[in-house]
Amino acid sequence: MGFPTNALLNAKMNTLILLLLNEEIISCFEGGVLMGEIRSGSSRGPLVVFNRLTRTELKKAWHGLKSIVRLTVGTAEEPIPHSEDWGHIKSVINDCIYAIGGEVSARSRTVDLGTFFLNLSEEGRLKFYGILAHDFDVDRRVLEQKIEVLKRAETYEDKIKGEIELKTALVPPRSRLLKQFNSLPNGIKFLIDMRADLMSKTGDDPYLYKVSLDIKEILSSWFDVGLLDLKEITWNSPAALLEKLIEYEAVHEIRSWDDLSKRFATDRLCFAFFHNKMPEEPLIFVEVALVDGLSDNIQELLDKAGRKTGDDEANTAIFYSITNAQQGLAGIHLGNFLIKSVVEKLSVERSSIRNFATLSPVPGFRAWLHSKLEEEGEDILTQDEIKTIRSHYDCADSSAQLKEILADGWENDELSSRFLEPVLLRLCARYLVKEKKENRALDPVAHFHLNNGASLERLNWRANVSEDGMSRSYGIMVNYCYRLSEIEENHEKYLTGHEVTVGREVKGLLRKG
- Which has more pLDDT, 67 or 236? 236
Q: Is the pLDDT of residue 421 over 50?
A: yes
pLDDT in tens, 355-364: 999 999 999 9
- Segment 169-191 shows an average pLDDT of 90
CA separation for the pair 432, 449 (Å, rounded): 11
Q: Could you report how far apart the first and last alpha carbons of the chain are, in Å? A: 74
Angle between helices 383-393 and 398-406 (to 10 degrees): 70
DSSP assignment, residue 278?
B
Task: Report yes or no: 456 and 357 within 8 Å, Cβ to Cβ.
Answer: no
CA distance 73 to 76: 9
Measured distance CA(89)–CA(142) in Å, rounded: 25
b/e 352-388 (16+ beta carbons within 10 angstroms → b):
ebebbbbbbbbbbbbebbeebbeeeebebbeeebbeb
Residues in the chain: 513
pLDDT in tens, 303-334: 876 555 555 679 999 999 999 999 999 989 89
Q: How far are the Cα atoms of 103, 106, 295 from residue 99, in angstroms, in the given order?
A: 5, 5, 58
Higher pLDDT, 328 or 10: 328
Q: How confident is the model at residue 60 (pLDDT cuts 50, 70, 90)?
A: low
More confident residue, 17 or 48: 48
Highest mean pLDDT among 14-28, 95-109, 237-251, 404-418 belongs to: 237-251
Q: What is the pLDDT of residue 99?
A: 79
Mean pLDDT across 443-455: 95
Q: What is the pLDDT of residues 118-143, one digit of tens each?
A: 888 889 999 999 999 999 999 999 99
What pLDDT score was predicted for residue 40?
A: 44
Q: What percent of the chain has pLDDT over 70?
A: 82
Looking at the chain, the whole-number percentage of residues with pLDDT higher than 90 is 62
Contact 194, 184 (CB under 8 A): no
Q: Could you tell me the domains of the chain?
A: 7-137+172-222 (no CATH), 140-169 (no CATH), 225-358 (3.40.630.150), 365-512 (3.40.630.150)
Sign, Cα dihedral of 187, 85, 93, 208: positive
* DSSP letter string, 456-505: EEEEETTS--SHHHHHHHTT-EEEEEE-TTTHHHHHHHHHHH----B-HH
pLDDT at 183: 76
Tell whether the model's pLDDT for residue 62 goes beyond 90: no
Residue 69: per-residue pLDDT: 53
Lowest mean pLDDT among 11-20, 32-41, 73-82, 214-223: 32-41
Higher per-residue confidence, 117 vs 76: 117
* Among 50-64, 177-191, 323-337, 431-445, the least confident range: 50-64
Q: How far apart are CA 319 and CA 317, in angstroms?
A: 6
User: CA 158, CA 177: separation in Å to the nearest integer?
Assistant: 31
Asked if pLDDT for residue 46 goes beyond 80, the answer is no
State the average pLDDT over residues 49-75.
Answer: 55
Query: Comparing 4-18, 167-181, 492-506, which segment has the lowest mean pLDDT?
Result: 4-18
> Which of the residues are catalytic?
360, 449
Task: Indicate the pTM of the whole model.
Answer: 0.81
Q: Dihedral, CA atoms, 118, 123, 129, 131, nearest 10 degrees?
A: -110
Contacts of 145 (CB under 8 A, 6+ apart): none
Residue 375, pLDDT above cutoff 90: yes
**pLDDT on residue 36:** 26
DSSP conformation letters of 113-130: HHHHHHT--HHHHHHHHH
Mean pLDDT of 193-214: 93
pLDDT one-digit tens code per residue, 276-295 = 988 889 999 999 999 999 99
- CA 496, CA 489: separation in Å to the nearest integer? 11
Predicted confidence at residue 247, as pLDDT, reads: 92
CA distance 338 to 272: 7
pLDDT of residue 489: 95
Binned at pLDDT 50, 70 and 90, residue 14 comes out as very low
pLDDT at residue 412, as a whole number:
84
Which residues, other chains included, contact 88 with Cβ-Cβ below 8 Å and sequence gap of 6+? 80, 81
Residues 6-25: what's their mean pLDDT? 41
On average, the pLDDT of the chain sits at: 84
Instruction: State residue 280's pLDDT score.
Output: 87
Average of per-residue pLDDT across 327-342? 91
pLDDT in tens, 83-108: 568 888 899 899 888 877 777 777 77
If residue 207 lies in a helix (H) or strand (E), which one and from where to where? helix 206-222
Of 42-46, 259-263, 501-505, minimum mean pLDDT range: 42-46
